[in-house]
Amino acid sequence: MMKSEVIWDQKYRPTKLDKCILPFRIKHIFKTYLEKGVIEDNLILSGPPGLGKTTIAKAMMEELDAEYIFVNASLHGNIDTLRDLVQGFVTKVSLDGGRKYVIFDEAEKMTSATQDAMKAFIEENSKMTGFIFTCNIKSMITGPLLSRLNLIDFTVNPKERAILMKSFYKRILEILDTEEIPYIEKDIVDFMASNKNSLDFRKFIGQIQMASKFGEINAESLKNQTQQHLEELMPMLKEKDFNSTRKWLTEHPELGAQDLYREFYDLAYAFLKPQSIPQLVLTLGKYQYQNAFVMDQEINTAAFLVEVMVDCEFL
């Protein structure tokens, strides 16, 4: 069992702008809003997962002491939500007379019909209510809705990436010191360097927390979690136990789809018969490509695991 059962990503989520790890250009935009005391624009925060889009949206609400509701579009992205939950909120008079806000998280998972309805809804209610959308894939937001929002692009350039990685490294050490977990700094640096193409801070924190159950955070504990993932999963696939496989998938949010695909590719020889490796590679290629376009990545990953379960022979 981990030293702390609380998910660190939630426990240490910043609630102040100054504590958010963001490129200067993005932080400056939100600092300007904070100085004005209001976000007068309707925004869409777009970029890869784990970069702090949802965190900064919520932190700004705390800083502004604003009344707001948070809608996870992956769970509530249909017309009924728009009419019942959101409309009820925006038509209610604010307790302090100030501007209220609606945050739509993972907006690309809204249906096209909902996005089209939101276009008119924003126009009708923007006088007293601000709308903030977050999305990982901007191309999945309909043009009419996108045209009514100010885009803040969280995609970072190489210079920004280097600065953010240094800041995030310091944050990781602060968390480990607070949790009183021993660590070897060089091994954490090497681990982050080996994942330098990813800036999913949420995933990094999850991986570090997973490694903490081995005691000290070092090269071995960071390496062990990769092997452990497949050691847990492979018996379920071999037995064609879909229910356990699906449960395992939901219990490992720190493991992104692309990471799982890479683990299968790197470690397949330890679990699969040699004649199944070519089929696995073809399956990996198909689902890795699809992953960039699907509405729900968890469903796509579950489908990948089912195909491996059916088509591959296990040792």
| Spatial separation of the C-alpha atoms in residues 286 and 268, rounded to whole Å | 17
| Spatial separation of the C-alpha atoms in residues 44 and 308, rounded to whole Å | 37
Is 131 contained in some domain? yes
Is 222 contained in some domain? no
Provide the residue range defining the domain that includes 125: 8-153
Looking at the structure, tell me whether residues 189 and 284 fall in a common domain: no
| Spatial separation of the C-alpha atoms in residues 155 and 152, rounded to whole Å | 9
Is 219 contained in some domain? no
Looking at the structure, tell me whether residues 247 and 268 fall in a common domain: yes
Looking at the structure, tell me whether residues 22 and 138 fall in a common domain: yes
Torsion angles phi and psi, residue 174, rounded to 5: -60, -40
CATH number of the domain bearing residue 299: 1.20.272
| Spatial separation of the C-alpha atoms in residues 58 and 25, rounded to whole Å | 19
Looking at the structure, tell me whether residues 77 and 190 fall in a common domain: no
The domain boundary residue, chosen from 153, 176, 202: 153
Is 112 contained in some domain? yes
Is 85 contained in some domain? yes
| Spatial separation of the C-alpha atoms in residues 18 and 20, rounded to whole Å | 6
Residue type, 233: L
CATH number of the domain bearing residue 105: 3.40.50.300
Q: Contacts for 224-228 with beta carbons within 8 Å, 24 or more apart?
A: 226/263, 226/266, 226/267, 227/267
Looking at the structure, tell me whether residues 143 and 173 fall in a common domain: no
Print pLDDT tens along the chain (315 aa).
344 468 898 899 999 999 999 999 999 999 999 999 999 999 999 988 888 999 999 999 999 999 999 988 877 666 776 777 788 888 877 667 789 999 999 888 888 888 888 888 888 888 889 999 999 888 888 888 999 999 999 988 889 989 999 999 999 999 999 999 999 999 999 888 876 656 778 878 888 888 888 889 998 888 756 566 777 788 888 888 888 888 888 777 656 677 788 778 877 777 888 888 888 889 888 888 887 777 677 888 889 889 888 888 888
Q: Give the pLDDT score at 104.
A: 92
The domain boundary residue, chosen from 112, 137, 153: 153
Is 221 contained in some domain? no
Q: Give the pLDDT score at 25.
A: 95
Q: Give the pLDDT score at 247.
A: 83
Looking at the structure, tell me whether residues 197 and 293 fall in a common domain: no
Structure tokens that stand for 275 in this block: 């004649």
CA dist 107 → 18, 117, 291, 295 (Å): 26, 13, 17, 10
Looking at the structure, tell me whether residues 12 and 147 fall in a common domain: yes
Is 89 contained in some domain? yes
Contacts of residue 228, defined as CB under 8 A and 6 or more positions apart, other chains included, come to: none
Looking at the structure, tell me whether residues 240 and 133 fall in a common domain: no
Q: Give the pLDDT score at 287.
A: 86
Looking at the structure, tell me whether residues 16 and 135 fall in a common domain: yes
3-class state of residue 155 by DSSP: coil
The domain boundary residue, chosen from 167, 182, 213: 213
CA dist 187 → 208, 221, 269, 275 (Å): 11, 10, 26, 36
Residue type, 186: K
Q: Give the pLDDT score at 4.
A: 43
Q: Give the pLDDT score at 153.
A: 94
What is the Rg, in whole angstroms, of the alpha carbon atoms belonging to the chain?
21
Q: How many domains, in total, are found in the chain? A: 3
Residue type, 117: A
Looking at the structure, tell me whether residues 58 and 191 fall in a common domain: no
Is 132 contained in some domain? yes
